[in-house]
């Protein structure tokens, strides 16, 4: 009789373990899917910013800084390390804001139809990045809550499942 009870108990614990682990895996996959959406928008951002910087022209020193930081941000995004992406994107945003202020001080630089269209595209892209970032952070919060609450935290520790990092990006038009 005790063998049967032990076997049933082991079977129930195994089922619970599998169900909890699978739930954590599903949540982790949602975080990864949300990050992929952020990545798509960052690739778009990394394409639009250099085109806009080149289109406004005339601000050669600022343009070179923006282009260099765009390349660095793109490289960090390919690396997939969330905190490093945030730092690189913040530096890129600072460079773009500096160039934007220069263009505002020299209105003749940014008045071309092409430059204005690219600036609108840039602002639209910033909104897309912001929405993708929010979706990612929401997914990360749900995953982290699951990883850090009982009994899932025990299963997460058993399988070495770690919380996800939040993505902190300063975008154009946002206050630091």
For CA atoms 144, 150, 154, 155, the dihedral sign is negative
Ordered per-residue pLDDT tens for the chain, 176 residues: 799 999 999 999 999 999 999 999 999 999 999 999 999 999 999 999 999 888 887 556 777 888 888 888 888 888 888 988 998 888 888 888 888 888 888 777 666 788 889 889 999 999 999 999 999 999 999 999 999 999 999 999 999 999 999 999 888 878 66
81 by DSSP, 3-state: which?
A: coil
Per-residue b/e over 113-150, b at no fewer than 16 CB within 10 Å?
A: eebeebbebbeebbebbbebbebbbebbeebbebbeee
State the pLDDT at residue 41.
Answer: 95
State the pLDDT at residue 16.
Answer: 94
Taking every pair of C-alpha atoms in the chain, what is the biggest distance, in angstroms? 89
C-alpha span between 80 and 11 (Å, rounded) = 39
Q: Please name each of the domains of the chain with its CATH number.
A: 22-158 (1.20.1440.20)
Residue listed under structure tokens 């602002």: 123
């Amino acid at each position: 009789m005790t063998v049967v009870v032990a076997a049933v108990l082991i079977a129930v614990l195994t089922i619970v373990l599998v169900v909890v682990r699978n739930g954590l895996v599903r949540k982790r996959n949602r975080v990864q899917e949300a990050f992929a959406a952020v990545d798509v928008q960052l690739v778009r951002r990394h394409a639009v910013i250099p085109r806009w910087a080149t289109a406004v022209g005339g601000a050669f020193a600022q343009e070179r800084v923006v282009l260099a930081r765009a390349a660095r941000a793109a490289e960090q995004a390919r690396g997939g390390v969330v905190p490093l992406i945030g730092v690189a994107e913040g530096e890129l945003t600072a460079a773009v804001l500096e160039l934007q202020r220069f263009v505002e001080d020299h209105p003749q630089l940014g008045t071309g139809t092409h430059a204005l269209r690219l600036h609108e595209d840039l602002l639209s892209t910033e909104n897309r990045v912001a929405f993708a970032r929010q979706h990612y952070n929401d997914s990360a919060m749900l995953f982290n809550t699951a990883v850090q609450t009982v009994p899932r935290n025990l299963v997460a520790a058993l399988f070495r499942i770690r919380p996800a990092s939040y993505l902190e990006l300063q975008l154009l038009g946002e206050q630091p």
